[in-house]
Structure 1
Amino acid sequence: MEIIQVVGLGLVTTFLILVIKEQKPVFAFLLATFVGIIIFISLVGKISEVIGVLENLAHQAHVNNLFLETILKIIGIAYIAEFGAQVTRDAGQGAIASKIELAGKILIMVMAIPIITVIIETIMQILPS
């Protein structure tokens, strides 16, 4: 049911933006950004439920909390970078959007280094010397 509300809000906003864009392009952009933020905020509850389930599963599997936190940060970086790039692209700034995406990818790579290190060390212990 929630997806119907999100899609409905998106379609109504799109219609309004198409009508307003010719007269007030800045207002149309602000409306699109505002509705995007509203949709994101409406999903925060679902995101926290998913995080709770993942934390529970990690606890049951005896996974180090540091790894789970790192993975959740990586996912957060990906979503935030994607949202920022989309908003920037909507404003007609594709070059800046590409730089936001690049920054997100680099930050994800930096955040993943400890996990990659542990995986490589584990593989090295398993392989015969």
Structure 2
Amino acid sequence: MLQIVGLGLIATFLVTILNEHKSNISLLLTVFVGTVIFLFLIDRIQDIFRMVQTLANEAHVQTVYVETILKIIGIAYIAEFGAQISKDAGQGAIAGKIELGGKILILAMAIPILTALIETILSFLPMKG
């Protein structure tokens, strides 16, 4: 964590200085540092995915549901990352569209899980006849 915070603070300092003279380079530095921080975290993200898969296997949960939930989480983080970069570049409108796109993709991917959940709940209710 200290490496991430240190890199972030150094980059913030450099971007602040570069904004006065070379704003296009400061944006590139922002994107680069964001990507490097993400790469620092890749191993941890993979560990989390493995732990969730192991828990799902032990709980006998169908892997398609776990994979879908992990994809949804991935979409949320990627959309947030892209939106933040767009906001840093002063493009709030584009950032909003990235966020909207992420939300729509998440909703589309969640429909099969919601359908299975509703069907499960309905199977517990007594049938009126």
Residue 12 (structure 2) pairs with residue 8 (structure 1) = no
- For residues 114-129 of structure 1, the aligned pairs below 5 Å read 114-129=112-127
| Mapping for residues 15-26 of structure 1, pairs under 5 Å | 15-26=13-24
Within the candidate set 32, 37, 50, 1:52 is matched to: 50
Corresponding residue number in structure 1 for 2:63: 65
Which 4+ stretches in 1 moved above 6 angstroms?
none
Segments of 5+ residues of structure 1 without an aligned counterpart are: none
Report Cα offsets for 1:65-103 as digits up to 9, x if no partner: 100100000000000000000000000000110010000
Cα distance in structure 2, aligned partners of 1:18 and 1:57 = 44
Q: Could you tell me how far 1:128 is from its partner in structure 2?
A: 1.4
Indicate whether 1:92 and 2:90 are aligned. yes
What's the C-alpha RMSD, in Å, of the aligned pairs?
A: 0.5
The code of the aligned residue for 1:85 comes to A
Task: Determine the C-alpha separation between the residues in 2 that align with 1:92 and 1:105.
Answer: 21
CA distance in 2 between counterparts of 1:27 and 1:112 reads: 39
Superposition TM-score, scaled by structure 1 size: 0.97
What code does the residue aligned with 1:28 have? S
Shift of 1:4: 1.1
Residue 127 of structure 1, CA deviation: 1.0
What residue identity is the alignment partner of 1:46? Answer: R
The number of equivalent residue pairs is 127
Structure 2: gaps of 5 or more residues: none
What is the alpha-carbon distance in structure 2 between the residues aligned to residue 23 and residue 104 of structure 1? 34
**In 1, Cα distance between the equivalents of 2:37 and 2:119?**
42
- Structure 1 equivalent of residue 106 of structure 2: 108
Corresponding residue number in structure 2 for 1:31: 29
